[in-house]
Amino acid sequence: MRRPLKKALAALCCLAAVMNPAAQALGAEKADLILHNGKVLTVDDAFHIASAVAVRDGKIVATGGEEIVGEYSAPETVDLGGRTLMPGFIDTHVHMMSMSFRQIDMDGVKSIADIQQRIRAKAEKLGPGEWITGFGWDEALLSEKRVPLRADLDAAAPDNPVVLTRAGGHSSVGNSMALKIAGIDRDTPDPERGVIEHLANGDPNGVIRERSDLYRKHVPKDDWEDLRPTFIASIRKLLSLGITSFHNATANLDDEPVGKGGIADPGPGLTWRRLNGIYDELGDELPRVTTYIAYPGPERLKAFPHRSGDGTIQVRLGGIGESPVDGGFTGPAAWLLTEYRGMDGFTGKSNYTDEALFAMADDAARNGWQMALHAIGDAAIVQTVNAYHHALTTVQGPGRQGKDRRWFLDHFTIMPPRETMQTMAEDGIMISQQPNFLYNLEARYEAWLDPYRLAHNNSVATPAGMGIHVAFASDNLPIGPMVGLYAAISRKGPSGRVHGIEEAVSREDAIRMYTANGAYLSWEEGIKGTLEPGKLADMIVLDHDPLTVPIDKLMDVKVDMTFVGGKLVYRRGADD
């Protein structure tokens, strides 16, 4: 028989198998799920493109062309209809938020008037004297293009103390009643590590940078059982954004037994123990989580019987963090090596003395913990890298050793001197980068940074080119990964202006940094982050191809389906 005829018959047999389930089952290897007729971005080392994937027992068993449909039989088959299938996003720095009964919902607010309306409604519901809280305002998204102030909140709720925290968590604004309860007036000095803003007449305008606790400590505590459902909802919402794994940046050990790392009176926030309780009940319905732990001090850290990397594929311990070394640009309070433009003498400042920062890093190394500290300004990055370098090169401990400790910096907003980055490369110090900051905070960077620092803000290409491992994250500004991809690829802000095109990366590299590179930060590169045989079937279906969609349409790309371990956990339309 001639070779062309053999090929034609083989193709016919394959087509028959696809069209005839009975024929397909004969001799086909069993799977649980097949997805085909799409564009599959495997994100393997060569960034191979396939068109079909077979899944069994929660893992990828094969990738390839349409022959997969004939080689495997499965009770469930998804025709992708030309859509894109890729690994789920891994966000390496995101804060899971609860929603108290006293909190106003800030989603969709477009003006200070909108905020005032929501405050009025909550005041009417709660009655006079009750605290009203909120999180997530962003002056850049408000029609007034300014920060809400004390007087704005007074007009909405003069008989209730009100405190609203900005997106990112670095500033809060309170009304007159909240200021009075906090004991803050025109004569109150700036607190350690914070700034109290004032009006021209000297009175506080309600905004406090970096020390929201001055307000928040007066707000009555909620119960964990009341907050638990809202934490679950916050985690579940990540699935609609295509996030199948995340690093939770806010948790502690407070509710561990006393003597095993805990304290006598833990608060209602998210903890290692509470996360495990949530995932024991709902783990196969949620994205996988690696959680940071707030540094509890040397005695409690030594007493806690676990360390970074411990846990399961559903929930595991990550680094000690985020423990901010400096503030952020929503203040501004980031610590720079030079003064801010238009702010003579102001550089920001560190939250730590060298002695305290070195002691914390040394203690983490001594006890086998990863470090994941917040460092935004270039001065803060220099200080943090120096502390990391000392610990990594002089302190031994149990658990991860040598360059496999995988310590990283969160944010790395202002690129530090080259010698600092060389130290990072030599010590294996990595970056959890938020390229979306370039987009979200463009106006602030333009106002405060010199041309060089503006061009290299939230740099990616330069550190990556020096051999520094870079993974992407959002820090809730906003959480959606498409904004981060857009900014990393285009280096454009909302204005359309390009900032430092030399820091842009390719679409393939940006996708890798939001998937495979994130898995590496938690020692999980062998089990997730790419669509390769043997890895977890954590996958998303997009309505457009992020490799080819026009760049200015990238932020409009939608997640149609999300799978965790081969299980469909989100479908657009059905679960929205």
**End of a domain among 216, 243, 269?**
216
Give the least confident one: 42-46, 440-444, 550-554: 440-444
Q: Which residues contact 470 (CB under 8 A, 6 or more apart)?
A: 430, 431, 433, 460, 463, 464, 513, 517
Which of 181, 216, 251 is the C-terminal boundary of a domain?
216
Does residue 130 carry a pLDDT above 80? yes
Q: Is 446 exposed, middle or buried (0-12, 13-18, 19+ CB in 10 A)?
A: middle
Q: Contact 204/150 with Cβ under 8 angstroms?
A: yes
The answer on 544 and 399 residing in a single domain is no
Q: What is the pLDDT of residue 26?
A: 58
pLDDT above 60: residue 191: yes
Does 439 lie in the same domain as 417? yes
More confident residue, 192 or 422: 422
Are residues 171 and 38 located together in one domain of the fold? no
For residue 96, being part of any structural domain is answered with no
Task: Give the phi and the psi of residue 172 in degrees, each rounded to 5.
Answer: -135, 150
Is 468 within the bounds of a domain? yes
Q: Are residues 120 and 72 both part of a single domain? A: no
- Tell whether 280 and 379 lie within a shared domain: yes
pLDDT of the residue at 133: 95
Residue 175, pLDDT > 70, answer: yes
- Residue 168, pLDDT > 80, answer no
Closest CA to 52 of 37, 70, 42: 37
pLDDT tens digits for 224-237? Answer: 999 999 999 999 99
Residue 418, pLDDT above cutoff 60: yes
- The predicted pLDDT at position 397 comes to 77
Residue 95 counted as domain residue: no
- Please provide the average confidence, as pLDDT, over all residues in the chain: 93
Evaluate if residue 376 carries a pLDDT over 50. yes
CATH code, domain with 47: 2.30.40.10
Q: Render pLDDT for 298-353 as a digit per residue (tens, 0 to 9).
A: 999 999 999 999 999 999 999 999 999 999 997 788 999 999 999 999 999 999 99
The pLDDT value recorded for residue 283 is: 87
Residues 359 and 393 in one domain: yes
Residue at 98 is within a domain: no
Determine, yes or no, domain membership for 93.
Answer: no
Q: Provide mean pLDDT across the span 466-490.
A: 96
As a whole number of angstroms, the distance between CA 159 and CA 373 comes to: 40
Q: What is the pLDDT of residue 400?
A: 59
CATH at 132: 3.10.310.70
User: Do 286 and 209 lie in a common domain?
Assistant: no
Query: Are 297 and 373 in a shared domain?
Result: yes
Residue 138's pLDDT is 86
Q: Do the domain assignments include residue 523?
A: yes
Which CATH number covers residue 508?
3.20.20.140
Q: In this predicted structure, what is the pLDDT of residue 360? A: 98
| Mean pLDDT (whole number) for 452-474 | 98
Whether 509 has a pLDDT exceeding 70, the answer reads yes
Query: What DSSP element (H or E) covers 512?
Result: helix 507-513
Per-residue pLDDT averaged across 184-206, rounded?
93
Region 80-86: mean pLDDT is 98
Starting at the edge strand found earlier in the chain, the sheet holding 76-79 runs 59-64, 52-56, 33-36, 76-79
CB-based burial label for 73 (10 Å; 0-12, 13-18, 19+) = buried
Q: Are 249 and 488 in contact (CB under 8 A)?
A: no
Same domain assignment for residues 302 and 366:
yes
| Average of per-residue pLDDT across 51-80 | 97
Instruction: State whether 310 and 391 are in the same domain.
Output: yes
Is the per-residue pLDDT at 188 higher than 80?
yes
Of 493, 511, 528, the last residue of a domain is: 528
Q: Report CA-CA distances (Å) from 329 to 255, 334, 376, 480.
A: 33, 6, 8, 20
**260 within some domain:** yes
Question: Is a pLDDT exceeding 80 seen at residue 58?
Answer: yes
How much of the chain, in percent, has pLDDT values that exceed 70? 94
Higher pLDDT pick, 235 / 166: 235
Residue 493 pLDDT > 50:
yes
Please give the pLDDT value at position 136.
Answer: 86
489 in a domain, yes or no?
Answer: yes
**Number of domains present in the structure of the chain:** 3
Query: Residue 202 sits in which domain range?
Result: 103-216
Q: Rounded to the nearest 5°, which phi and psi values hold at 302?
A: -65, -35
* CA neighbor of 80 nearest in space, from 565, 573, 514, 542: 542
pLDDT exceeds 70 at position 199: yes
Distances (CA, A) of 182 to 39, 212, 292: 57, 11, 30
Backbone phi and psi for residue 492, each to the nearest 5 degrees, phi listed first: -105, 145
Instruction: Find the mean pLDDT for residues 94-112.
Output: 91
Q: Are residues 438 and 326 in the same domain?
A: yes
Q: Which amino acid is at 253?
A: L
Is the same domain home to 506 and 438?
yes
